[in-house]
Amino acid sequence: MTDARGSAGRNARHAPGTPCWVSLMVHGPAATQQFYGALFGWEFRPGPQQLGPYTRALLDGREVAGIGQLPPDRQLPIAWTPYLASDDVNRTAEAVRSCGGTIGVGPLDAEEAGRLAICSDPSGAVFGVWQAAAHLGTAVTGVPGTPAWNELMTFESASVVKFYTTVFGYEQEPVVSADFDYVTLNLGGRPVAGVHGVGHALPRDRGPHWMTYFEVADTDEAVDRLVDLGGHVLKPAQDTVLGRVAMVADPEGARFSLLQSSR
């Protein structure tokens, strides 16, 4: 887990490789905004429109996430996508390609906000790269309704961890266990993301994918509220080393986790 938790906000540029933003592309943005607004207390305002209609979610006036609209002819998985910070998105995109990944979108400018690319790692998991200009990324962490952690769910960790460490310079911190395949990705000794190899437990309809954890004050209460709003429980709340976690999905099927931190 990142030690940035509990901070009131961020005014500085994120170090390269740090998850700095999460974004969700859906077919029905109005209904999705209503769902997350009721679940997390988010409000919304327009953002850059390069990839179609897009809004930024705000918590107490500070930006925490983005929600955009998929083109009607694109049948892509509805999924939360983390963006990793870069000082030069063109150079990072070249590194992604040279290490066996692919570039799906960009690099391109998002008005005055910054420059982005949407990529896939060699296993097929989608992530974004963000080079900040006016928009630095998530402006507040460590309070309910904010992204708390990002974790790659994949078949096995070794090969894909090599990809991410080569592209972004992470330090690896594997769990020493015969039956638990997990590697924490660190920057400067600070945990920033995780890679969880789950083998055949990976959903067949989803494949390798990034999972975003959102902070909540009470996981069990948040799960009840989510169900009332039309969401679905994929894994009931349980206590973990991170805190009390439930894996859930929104009404369009985007998977994410609710986390009541143990700190």
**Chain mean pLDDT for the chain:** 92
pLDDT of residue 242: 87
Residue 71 has pLDDT above 50, yes or no: yes
Residue 148 has pLDDT above 80, yes or no: yes
pLDDT of residue 186: 97
pLDDT tens for 181-218 read 999 999 999 999 999 999 988 888 789 999 999 999 99
Residue 3 has pLDDT above 90, yes or no: no
pLDDT tens for 209-262 read 999 999 999 999 999 999 999 999 999 999 998 899 999 999 999 999 999 997
Supply the pTM of this predicted model: 0.92
pLDDT of residue 6: 38
The whole-angstrom separation of Cα 57 and Cα 165 is 30
